[in-house]
């Protein structure tokens, strides 16, 4: 795998599309500063332009901010700390093998290294995991669902929406972190937003203005060389 930079890239004043793609990364620490409402509407309007099969636009999105965000965070943290059994709407892959496992390990080594958490530091790792359910102190958390009648083929469309959303955030000076972990407790999320069981929760995205003082935010993880993943035939 290759890594072209050792520190996070800074988005230039007038970024190109390439700049935005290269600067987007997972941010795990945010400033206690709310995103203005007009900027929220701009970003989510851009995300809505994502492609989907037959233009069905299957995603359903709810954003928690302010007190709503704090309440939902507290509910999820309580579920984890009290040992509530997760019940995700879709089967999760929690164990990777081969090259996928190696990439997972490489990412963990880089992240925990910046956080000064040793491999045998069980408490430190538990605390780092819990940060997911605290939304990394983000002032906003978006949750993305799709109708439960759909399967993986439609989830692909939702993934394209999520990528649009995070790139729009990056282009407008915001950090974000896509989180599958929070989807382990879909009943809590549905109850909080007034969703019924017809919606299956796929993921959450914590977002806001990045706090550059957070050690985890120094992490830059590599990507595989395209020769490992792409073939070109003439």
Rg, Å, the chain Cα set:
18
pLDDT of res. 6: 60
> 206 and 140 in contact (C-beta within 8 Å)?
yes
User: What's the CA gap between 217 and 30, in Å, rounded?
Assistant: 9
Contacts of 9 by beta carbon, 8 Å cutoff, 6+ apart: 19, 22, 23
Distance of CA 180 to the CA centre of its chain: 7
User: What's the CA gap between 48 and 225, in Å, rounded?
Assistant: 31
Closest CA to 184 of 138, 147, 130, 136: 130
pLDDT, tens digit only, all 234 positions of the chain: 333 346 788 898 899 999 999 999 999 999 999 999 999 999 999 999 999 999 999 999 999 999 999 999 999 999 999 999 999 999 888 889 999 999 999 999 999 999 999 989 999 999 999 999 999 999 999 999 999 999 989 999 999 999 999 999 999 999 999 999 999 999 999 999 999 999 999 999 999 999 999 999 999 998 999 999 999 999
pLDDT of res. 94: 80
Place of tokens 């709810």: 62
> 30 and 136 in contact (C-beta within 8 Å)?
yes
Closest CA to 205 of 52, 42, 62, 59: 62
What's the angle, vertex CA 21, arms to CA 18 and CA 26, rounded to 5? 160
Prediction pTM value: 0.93
pLDDT of res. 56: 97
pLDDT of res. 9: 85
pLDDT of res. 86: 96
Domains and CATH numbers, the chain: 25-221 (3.40.109.10)
pLDDT of res. 92: 84
pLDDT of res. 159: 97
């Amino acid at each position: 795998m290759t890594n072209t930079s050792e520190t996070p890239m800074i988005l230039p004043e007038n970024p190109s599309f390439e700049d935005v793609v290269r600067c987007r990364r997972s941010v795990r620490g945010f400033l206690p500063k709310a995103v203005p409402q007009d900027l929220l509407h701009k970003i989510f309007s851009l995300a809505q332009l994502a492609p989907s099969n037959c233009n069905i636009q299957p995603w359903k999105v709810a954003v928690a901010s302010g007190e709503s965000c704090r309440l939902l965070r507290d509910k999820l943290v309580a579920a984890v700390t009290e040992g509530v059994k997760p019940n995700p709407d879709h089967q999760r892959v929690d164990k990777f093998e081969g090259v996928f496992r190696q990439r997972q390990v490489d990412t963990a080594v880089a992240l925990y290294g910046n956080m000064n958490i040793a491999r045998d530091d069980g408490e430190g790792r538990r605390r780092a995991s819990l940060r997911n359910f605290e939304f990394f102190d983000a002032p906003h958390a978006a949750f993305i669902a799709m109708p439960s009648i759909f399967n993986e083929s439609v989830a692909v469309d939702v993934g394209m929406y999520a990528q649009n959303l995070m790139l729009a955030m990056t282009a407008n000076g915001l950090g974000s972190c896509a989180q599958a972990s929070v989807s382990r407790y879909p009943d809590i999320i549905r109850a909080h937003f007034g969703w019924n069981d017809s919606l299956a929760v796929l993921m959450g995205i914590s977002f806001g203005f990045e706090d550059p003082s957070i050690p985890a935010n120094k992490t830059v993880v590599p990507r595989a060389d395209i020769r490992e993943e792409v073939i070109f035939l003439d």
